[in-house]
Structure 1
C-alpha cells in the first residue's frame, strides 16, 4: 500500500494499480500504432480499447482511498511501495505467455494465462477456474477466427487452422 499524508488524513493507493497502469500503457501503445488502419479494421479493437478504458477507470477508482485519521495515528505510518510476489508472478506469467504464444498457439496460451492468473489471484471456485477461461477462449476464437477471419497462431493445436 502506498500512502501519501495530507493535512486531514492520508490517501491510500493499492499496489495492484501497477497492473492496471501497465495494461493502459500497452493499450495506448496499440492505439498509437493502429492509427493508420481503416475504420473497419479498428472496429473491434476500438470496442476492446473502450472496454479497457472503462475497466481501468473502475479499477483506479477502487484502488485509491482517502482515510481521515488523527495526527497521533498518522505519525506511525510509513510510505512504501514494494514489489509483491503477485506482481512478480504476473510479470513472469505475461512474459511466459508472450514467449509461448507461437509455440502453444493463441487458444492454449490465452487459456493457460487466464487459468494461472486466476490461481495467482486466489480464486478457489473450481467451476469458475475452468468456466471463465473456456468462455473467454471461445469468445476470442469466435471473434477473431470466425467473425473477423484473422489467422491466429495455432501452435500445438494445428487442427484449428
Structure 2
C-alpha cells in the first residue's frame, strides 16, 4: 500500500514537471517565431532605409543638382504617400521632376509576410522626416511592427565640410501629404 501511495505521489510530481516542460517548449517556440518575424521586419526596414538614403550622381538636366550628388530623400519626402510640389529650386519645384518611388508594398522573407509604408512628414521641428513602418507576420501567429525615421540631416553633408543642400521646407500638411 505504501508503495502504491509513493508511486501516486511520484506520478503527480512527474505530471506537474511534464506540464511545466510542455509550457516551456510552447513559450520557446513562440519566442522563436517572434524573433523570426522581427528579423524579417528588420531586413525589410533596412532595405527601405537604404533606398531613401541612396545618393547618386545626377546627369539629368531636369534636376537642379545636375552634375553633383542627387539625393533620393527628396523624391521620397515629396512623393510619399502622395506627390506634392516641392519648393522652387528643388528639382524645378515640379512633381514631374521627382523620380517615381514606391511608397508601400508587400514582401515575403521566407514564409514571413511583411507590409511596409513610407511617408514624408514635417517632423516636430519642421526639419523634414520620412517615416518607414514595417509589419511582419509569422504564419504561426506572432506579428511585429517596427518604425524608424530618416531626417534630412541624415542625408545631406555637414555644413562644416560642404555647403549642404538645404533640408526641404515642409508644406503646411507635411511632405508628401
**TM-score normalised to structure 1 length:** 0.26
Higher strand share: 2
Larger radius of gyration: 2
**TM-score normalised to structure 2 length:** 0.24
Higher helix share: 1
